[in-house]
Structure 1
Amino acid sequence: MRAIRSTSALVALLLLAGCGDLLNGVDSRDPTNLSYSITTETSTGTLRGVMLTWEAPRARDAWSYSVYGRPSTVGEWYLVGITTSTTFHDAGAPQRQYYVAARDADDSEFGRTRTITIEAPVSLAAPDALTGISLNRAVQLGWADNARISGGSAFRHYRVFSTAVTPSGGCDLGRWEVEGATGSNTFLVSGISNGVSRCFAVTAMSMSGVESAMSRAWIDTPRYDARHVVIDAFALRPASSGFIFHEAGANRFGAVVDGSRSDADFRVEQAQDGSFVIRAMRDAVRLAAFGSAPVPDLTSIDVAPATGYGASDLTVQPGHAYVFRIVRADGVRYGAVRIAYVAAGHVVLDWAYQSAAGNPELVVGFMP
């Protein structure tokens, strides 16, 4: 590296500057607004270097730029590199201070930026305990707030990433995409395809621009759902007493249909004592109660059970949930309903359906 004395360099630059126009004390031939950001490997948090950016001189064209650095706030400056752009990445451990000088077509330096000092990088802990809730075309993510709590004033925000799931069931580590940033330990990823699994991870960004290692990945699969669907008792209004989770011919989900249709998944019947039952309408449909206690919300119906399904009618109760195993030509699908309300002649329910074949995940994701 080439060393120069800071005082002699400053004198030379002042002589080159001459009597150029000044704006707020800055020579119009100087490059300006030098800033930096620390760069790290996203997956591991390993320091990669420092990215410098600046603005070109306003009054004179620069053919290239010399980037100078030094390991402390005193002593000699060294030529770190030359670039024709207004950015420069200094790989590895950064210098303590930098400045940038503009060069003309004869390789003479004619203006310089202010000196910037690189603050000691602070690396935060990787976020812990990432989990997700499957929603309709969305996934609600949440994680422990350990990076913010332990980082204190050094914490800036979290960054959320997603990538495709490989055929072997792992995460495609070469295709991480940024979903967004947040100051809290929750994030809603929306606008994604139902029935297609995605892999998610979170990092923590410090005020000094250092990104932590990624959290442990979480795989989740959005599914179709809807709330407050009215299903009438078959004896009272047969035309609106049946339900199909996925009506393939019309390519619609959650269809209220005539309870006598041969392709209906189930229909609602009202017994003589006034209670309501759910009746499976096809041999390919089996149903089971989801536990023995009420659930507070549709999102409480996590993973459909592997066994326990039957063809018998189930008496429904408000707040309780019921799951369905549906055999189709291309594989098994799972659905669920939660009874929100029981009224005279009808029930009001919320429903969810996982369109991915063989995937019992209705709400909560799973670790890879």
Structure 2
Amino acid sequence: MAGCEDDNCIFNPVPAAPQGVFSITGDGAVYLYWYGPYEADIVEFIIWRSDEPVHNYREIGRRPAEHNPELDLWQYEYIDETAQNSVTYYYAVSSVDQAGQVSELSAEEVKDTPRPEGQVFLFDAAIESSLSGYHFADSSTVDSSESDVYVDRFNGVFYLNARNDYTDLQDMGYTESFDDIGWAPQDGWSELGWLEIIQGHTYVIWTDDLHFAKMRVETINPNSVTFRWAYQTAPDNPELAPRSDGLEKPVHGPEYLRKDNKSTTLK
């Protein structure tokens, strides 16, 4: 309260905190989004980061507020380009008004762990086995026998295959964008170690060394498939865009891998 003298008072409360704060995981970056409060005198937002959920938040940047006299709902973006892959960060945002008053930190717990991503062309193993597989830890195209997953083709249809029965796959269905899948699922893993490759579908991989990855089909070519991929280098961390409690590896039967089951009736 400022300027109070007898009955002539001006009430200027501290602004409300931003709402709906969330993040999208990037490669060496974290993308933050939030909604500004319904207040006309907000001039900017302060972005805060910590290595723990409650304490030690430090300012890492500011984002000017849009002029908003009609109190419309605005969503804002800030990109933390100083984030390092495999490191978990906690984020919060506060509002600043024209009087320089700063709100409380946003209420949401926003946690993010950046990870590498890229694009890869994988060939049918029967045509070029040395270029049919992908090894996420090395970000390298390898022979199917050395891969986490590899591509082959049966009756003109491409399939994504687990290399061994300790690697799990799940088709997350059609996605509009690569960022639509931000977390690995807790259940629903395929009972078979291969999945049909479909244009626009995103697949989540749980590797035999307990890392998570995702691959989205960009293009299906005559002899190869183009994927966009991301790999979470922090083990047991299902964040692809750390909720690992309760995740247990499925147990597979002897017919899990295609190379161990030659029955053409399976496809």
Q: TM-score, normalised by structure 2?
A: 0.78
* Partner residue in 2 for 1:356: 234
The offset of 1:311, in angstroms, is 4.2
**1:75-224 → structure 2 map (5 Å cutoff):** 122-146=13-37, 150-152=38-40, 154-165=41-52, 171-173=53-55, 175-184=56-65, 185-216=76-107, 217-224=109-116
Residue among 163, 175, 183 paired with 1:303: 183
Give 1:189's aligned amino acid: D
The superposition leaves residues 41-97 of structure 1 with CA deviations (integer Å, 9 ceiling, x where unpaired) of xxxxxx9xxxxxxxxxxxxxxxxxxxxxxx9799xxxxxxxxxxxxxxxxxxxxxxx
RCO comparison, higher one (Cα < 8 Å, 6+):
2
The offset of 1:129, in angstroms, is 1.1
Determine if contact 1:120/1:208 at 8 Å carries over to the other structure: no
The offset of 1:210, in angstroms, is 0.8
Change (3 A) 1:340 1:203: same
Give distance in 2, aligned partners of 1:200 and 1:210: 20
* Partner residue in 2 for 1:231: 122
Give 1:319's aligned amino acid: G
* Partner residue in 2 for 1:317: 198
The offset of 1:123, in angstroms, is 2.0
Give distance in 2, aligned partners of 1:260 and 1:326: 14
CA RMSD of aligned residues (A): 2.3
Structure 2 unmatched runs, 5+: 66-75, 244-267
Give distance in 2, aligned partners of 1:176 and 1:303: 25
Give 1:333's aligned amino acid: H
Determine if contact 2:165/2:193 at 8 Å carries over to the other structure: no
User: 2:136 is paired with a residue of what secondary structure?
Assistant: strand
**1:329-344 → structure 2 map (5 Å cutoff):** 332-344=210-222
The offset of 1:308, in angstroms, is 2.6
Residue among 158, 164, 188 paired with 1:276: 158
User: 1:260 is paired with a residue of what secondary structure?
Assistant: helix
Give distance in 2, aligned partners of 1:327 and 1:72: 67
The offset of 1:312, in angstroms, is 2.4
Give distance in 1, aligned partners of 2:64 and 2:141: 42
**1:21-100 → structure 2 map (5 Å cutoff):** none
Give 1:362's aligned amino acid: L
Give distance in 1, aligned partners of 2:188 and 2:11: 59
The offset of 1:326, in angstroms, is 1.5
Give 1:204's aligned amino acid: S
Give 1:352's aligned amino acid: A
User: 2:137 is paired with a residue of what secondary structure?
Assistant: strand
Structure 1 unmatched runs, 5+: 1-46, 48-70, 75-118, 166-170, 248-253
Give distance in 2, aligned partners of 1:283 and 1:191: 38
Change (3 A) 1:72 1:221: closer
Q: Which runs of 4+ in 1 moved over 6 A?
A: 71-74
The offset of 1:177, in angstroms, is 1.4
Identity of aligned residues (%): 24
The offset of 1:305, in angstroms, is 1.3
Give 1:285's aligned amino acid: T
Give distance in 2, aligned partners of 1:267 and 1:131: 34
User: 2:179 is paired with a residue of what secondary structure?
Assistant: helix
The superposition leaves residues 266-309 of structure 1 with CA deviations (integer Å, 9 ceiling, x where unpaired) of 1110222x21001111232111111x3x1011111121112232
The offset of 1:225, in angstroms, is 1.1
The offset of 1:342, in angstroms, is 0.2
Give distance in 2, aligned partners of 1:351 and 1:72: 59
Give distance in 2, aligned partners of 1:73 and 1:238: 80
Give distance in 2, aligned partners of 1:244 and 1:357: 15
Change (3 A) 1:143 1:72: closer
Which structure is larger by alpha-carbon Rg, 1 or 2? 1
